Structure 1
Amino acid sequence: MIGCRRVLERACKAKLGDAANGKNLYDLIDAVLANMETTKALSDWAHDLRQLGNDAVHGDDTPITKEDAKQAYDLTVLLVDLLFSYPNRIAKMRQAGK
């Protein structure tokens, strides 16, 4: 238990850098999750692929590559996991710990 708590604290501090100074673990957790770089990167990726889809739907003649299709699929799976699978997994794991 203590080891997991230490890893969590060090991970938060590593991600926050100087912004972690003076924060307790409670505040570190809130800060790191509120500022997740992955959220911005995921949003940017989704908008890039949204634009590709818009171009395809609205008659742009630019061909969709195999890599574009794979990225669209990977993003879809990731978003569904983040929006539905992970919250359910988290709830089940929390319930099992009670």
Structure 2
Amino acid sequence: MTTALTLTHDDRPDGTARVTAVGEIDMSNAGELAAALARTAGPLVLDLTGVEYLDSAGLSVLFPHAGRLQLVANPLLDPVLTISGLAGLTSGDDTRR
């Protein structure tokens, strides 16, 4: 069974592409997130403020894009982003927390 995940694409006012995720990211839907990230070239803001759960499958999708990601994350995700090392590889954005 696939866990509910909604992904939307838009551009921030500065022109930077943004993918906004709402729901849970796990092995049942990590491929959807991978496809969304692959469709967008260049710097990318990944808004995870609406994500309440992120497992290792979701993390594994994010690591190949870490150098170009700016993460905006739900504070609930801070421990997993920090422990995995992903928080140190991406830039953060506190404007939407």
TM-score, normalised via structure 1 length: 0.24
Larger Rg: 1
Which has the higher relative contact order, 1 or 2, with Cα contacts under 8 A spaced 6 or more apart? 2
